[in-house]
């Protein structure tokens, strides 16, 4: 009986809640590629990322912003970090209800102990005539996490004149507030 009551409360809460209270993984899509520009001598590992956000039923002239920071490790001490170099940038409307922002980031510099592996991000929405709200709330709420680099040794080498590797879908997770 207690389980039934809990299920009824959960579903009634879901049905009565405002749409912006929910974060769904199908609203975001991240593609990326990591590569190095030198095949014979170690150089920086660089990444190109494309973050897309789709949300139907938004008012015309809605502005969407990507709040992001980097996650990774400081290899000298073995410590990890999240939300490093936090920035907020307006996303570009590329078609109705679809926004995109392209990012470029150095994941590992030749002489640096800093290794970036993840993109942490949230989406801020400014609909005309409404209070701005976050689709995910960084720090004290839920946020998104896209894994960029699992194994630096397997990064694609791009020699001069050769093409960059194809962009590939990245694994995106919703990170709960308790993380």
- In whole angstroms, what is the distance from residue 47 CA to residue 42 CA? 15
Closest CA to 118 of 139, 100, 144: 144
- Alpha helices (H) along the chain: 2-16
As given in the structure block, the two tokens for residue 61 are: 């002239």
pTM of the entire predicted model: 0.80
Mean pLDDT of 159-169: 79
In the structure, what pLDDT confidence band is assigned to residue 140 with cuts at 50, 70 and 90?
low
Each residue of 71-130: pLDDT tens digit?
999 988 889 999 999 999 999 999 999 999 999 999 988 888 999 999 999 999 999 999
Q: Which residues contact 107 (CB under 8 A, 6 or more apart)?
A: 34, 44, 45, 46, 47, 72, 115, 116, 117, 148, 149, 152
Domain ranges of the chain: 24-175
Question: Which of the two residues, 143 and 67, has the higher pLDDT score?
Answer: 67
Tell me the Ramachandran region of residue 39: left when phi exceeds 0, alpha when psi lies from -120 to 50, beta otherwise: alpha
**Strand spans (E) along 11-157:** 28-36, 45-54, 63-74, 79-90, 92-95, 98-108, 114-126, 133-134, 143-147, 156-157
Q: Are strands 156-157 and 28-36 parallel, antiparallel or unpaired?
A: parallel
Q: What pLDDT was estimated at residue 168?
A: 92
- In whole angstroms, what is the distance from residue 31 CA to residue 152 CA? 18
Maximum mean pLDDT: which of 32-41, 51-60, 61-70, 148-157: 61-70
Decide if 156 contacts 32 (C-beta within 8 A): no
Pick the CATH number of 24-175 from 3.40.50, 2.60.120, 2.60.40, 2.40.160: 2.60.40
In the structure, what pLDDT confidence band is assigned to residue 22 with cuts at 50, 70 and 90?
very low
């Amino acid at each position: 009986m207690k389980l039934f009551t809990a299920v009824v409360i959960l579903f009634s809460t879901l049905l009565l809640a405002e749409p912006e209270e929910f974060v769904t993984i199908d609203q975001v899509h991240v593609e990326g590629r990591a590569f190095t520009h030198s095949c014979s001598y170690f150089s920086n590992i660089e990444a190109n990322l494309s973050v897309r956000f789709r949300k139907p039923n938004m008012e015309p002239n809605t502005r969407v912003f990507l709040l992001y920071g980097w996650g990774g490790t400081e290899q000298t001490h073995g410590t990890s970090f999240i939300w490093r170099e936090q920035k907020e940038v307006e996303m570009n409307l590329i078609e109705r209800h679809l926004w995109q922002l392209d990012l470029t980031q150095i994941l590992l510099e030749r002489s640096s102990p800093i290794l970036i592996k993840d993109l942490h991000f949230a989406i801020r929405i400014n609909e005309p005539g409404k209070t701005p709200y976050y689709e995910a709330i960084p720090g004290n709420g839920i946020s998104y996490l896209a894994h960029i680099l699992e194994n630096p040794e397997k990064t694609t080498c791009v020699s001069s004149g050769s093409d960059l590797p194809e962009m590939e879908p990245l694994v995106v997770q919703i990170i709960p507030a308790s993380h």
